[in-house]
C-alpha cells in the first residue's frame, strides 16, 4: 500500500541531533583526562553541541509549539515540560564543563565520569522526547497544517538560525541521513541563498569535518 508522504519538520534535524548526541557521548567516554588538548577540545565540542540543542529547543518553542497550540490548545504541554527539563540538563552539564576545563589533570577523572553519566542521562531523556515529538506531535501538526504550511513554518525556523549554528546542524544532519536526502536538502538550500553565502557555509562545514578527522588521526 502506498501512503502519501507528508512533510516532516522533525525528520532530518532529529537524525542529526541523535547522531551528534552519540558522537559526543563517545567522545566524553574516550577522552584522556590527562591530555590538556583532548579536554579543551571536548569542552568546546560539548558546549557547541549544547548550543545547537538549545537553538533547536528555542525554535520549536517559538514556531512549532506556538503554531500548534493556536490550532490545538494544549497539544504541546508534554513536549514543553520536556523542554523545561532539557534547560535544567543544559545548566547542569555546563556546571560540569567549567570545572573540567579548569581542573588540574590529576583532578579531572571524577568530573569527566560525572559528565559522562549526566550527558548519557540527557541523551536518554532526549531520545524519548524526540520520539514523543515524532510519534505524537507530528501527527497533530500534519492534521492541523497543510504540507505547504509546515514548510513555511520550517522555513521560518531555518531563516532565524545564525550561520555559526547552521554549520553545526548541517554537519550533524549530513552524516546522519542517506546521501540522496542530503543532496536534495543542500540543493534546496543553495536555491534559496546567495551563492557566496552558500559557498562560505559549505566551506565551514567541510573545515569542521576535516578538523574532526585530523583530531581522530592525531589521537
Ligand atoms: Fe523538542
Ligand atoms: Fe525536536
Spacing, Cα 45 to ligand 2 middle (Å): 20
Spacing, Cα 102 to ligand 2 middle (Å): 32
CA 59, CA 161: separation in Å to the nearest integer?
A: 9
Mean pLDDT of the chain: 94
CATH tag for 11-161 (out of 1.10.3470, 1.20.120, 1.20.5, 1.10.287): 1.20.120
Can you say how many angstroms the Cα of residue 191 is from the centroid of all Cα atoms in its chain? 24
Average pLDDT over residues 140-168: 95
**Residue 217 predicted with pLDDT over 90:** no
CA 64, CA 104: separation in Å to the nearest integer?
A: 44
Nearby residues for ligand 1 (ion, Cβ within 5 Å): 60
Q: What integer pLDDT is reported at residue 39 of this predicted model? A: 97
Spacing, Cα 120 to ligand 1 middle (Å): 17
**Tell me: the pLDDT tens digits for 52-99?**
999 999 999 999 999 999 999 999 999 999 999 999 999 999 999 999
Smallest Cα–Cα separation from 96: which of 80, 109, 114?
A: 114
Residue 212 binned pLDDT confidence (cut-offs 50, 70, 90):
confident
**Residue 3 predicted with pLDDT over 70:** no
CA 79, CA 103: separation in Å to the nearest integer?
A: 36
Spacing, Cα 107 to ligand 2 middle (Å): 36
Q: What integer pLDDT is reported at residue 12 of this predicted model? A: 96
Spacing, Cα 13 to ligand 2 middle (Å): 8
Nearest ligand for residue 10 CA: 2
pTM for this one? 0.93
Can you say how many angstroms the Cα of residue 111 is from the centroid of all Cα atoms in its chain? 24
**Residue 2 predicted with pLDDT over 60:** no
Q: Answer whether 68's CB lies under 8 Å from 75's CB.
A: yes
Amino acid at each position: 500500500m502506498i501512503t502519501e508522504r507528508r512533510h516532516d519538520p522533525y525528520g532530518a534535524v532529529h537524525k542529526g541531533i541523535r547522531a551528534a548526541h552519540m558522537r559526543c557521548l563517545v567522545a566524553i567516554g574516550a577522552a584522556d583526562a590527562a591530555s590538556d588538548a583532548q579536554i579543551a577540545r571536548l569542552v568546546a565540542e560539548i558546549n557547541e553541541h549544547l548550543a545547537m540543542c538549545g537553538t533547536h529547543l528555542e525554535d520549536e518553542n517559538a514556531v512549532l509549539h506556538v503554531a500548534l497550540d493556536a490550532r490545538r490548545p494544549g497539544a504541546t504541554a508534554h513536549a514543553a515540560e520536556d523542554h523545561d527539563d532539557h534547560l535544567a540538563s543544559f545548566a547542569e552539564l555546563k556546571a560540569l564543563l567549567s570545572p573540567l576545563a579548569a581542573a588540574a589533570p590529576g583532578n579531572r577523572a571524577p568530573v569527566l565520569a560525572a559528565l559522562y553519566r549526566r550527558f548519557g542521562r540527557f541523551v536518554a531523556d532526549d531520545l524519548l522526547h524526540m520520539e514523543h515529538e515524532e510519534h505524537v506531535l507530528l501527527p497533530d501538526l500534519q492534521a492541523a497544517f497543510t504540507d505547504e504550511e509546515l514548510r513555511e513554518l520550517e522555513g521560518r525556523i531555518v531563516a532565524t538560525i545564525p550561520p555559526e549554528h547552521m554549520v553545526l546542524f548541517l554537519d550533524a544532519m549530513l552524516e546522519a541521513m542517506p546521501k540522496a536526502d542530503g543532496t536534495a536538502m543542500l540543493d534546496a538550500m543553495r536555491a534559496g541563498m546567495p551563492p557566496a553565502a552558500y559557498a562560505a557555509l559549505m566551506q565551514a562545514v567541510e573545515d569542521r569535518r576535516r578538523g574532526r578527522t585530523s583530531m581522530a588521526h592525531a589521537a
